[in-house]
Amino acid sequence: MNKKQYAMIILSIVGFFLYNFIGHSRPILDPINIVIYCIAGAVIIILLIIIIPTRYCPNCGAKLPRVRRSKNLNEALYGWTTCPKCKSEINTKGQIVKE
């Protein structure tokens, strides 16, 4: 099993515990629910860091940001990203589209 499969298993276990421990009969602002929500949020953030891979620019080797912000229409529609160092556009497969 790879890291993504382990992360998905842990996410499903966290979701199962959230579903079972936080019942509809309890108020949302119950102190134990707040603690459970904080722990679950921390686990989900850590797992998303594990799941989202680190990518590098094929042109200059610079580290690309994990969370991308769209700068033009191609990036918004097709999921491309722009290298912060050499400004080349990279598609979702990691190939250079425009230099």
pLDDT of residue 8: 74
Please write the tens of the pLDDT for every residue from 19-34: 666 655 555 566 776 7
Cβ atoms of 96 and 59 within 8 Å: the answer is: yes
Whole-prediction pTM value? Answer: 0.51
pLDDT of residue 48: 76
Do 59 and 43 reside in the same domain of the chain?
no
Q: Sheet of 81-82: strands edge to edge?
A: 81-82, 89-90, 96-98
pLDDT band at 5 (very low <50, low <70, confident <90, very high): confident
Q: How many domains does the chain have?
A: 2
Q: Say yes or no to pLDDT of 87 above 70.
A: yes
pLDDT of residue 30: 66
Do 41 and 10 reside in the same domain of the chain?
yes
Phi-psi region at 94: left, alpha or beta (left = phi > 0; alpha = psi -120 to 50): left
pLDDT of residue 50: 76
Q: Say yes or no to pLDDT of 59 above 60.
A: yes
> Counting Cβ atoms within 10 Å, is residue 74 exposed (0-12), middle (13-18) or buried (19+)?
middle
Do 44 and 77 reside in the same domain of the chain?
no
Task: Look up the domain containing 92 and give its range.
Answer: 55-99
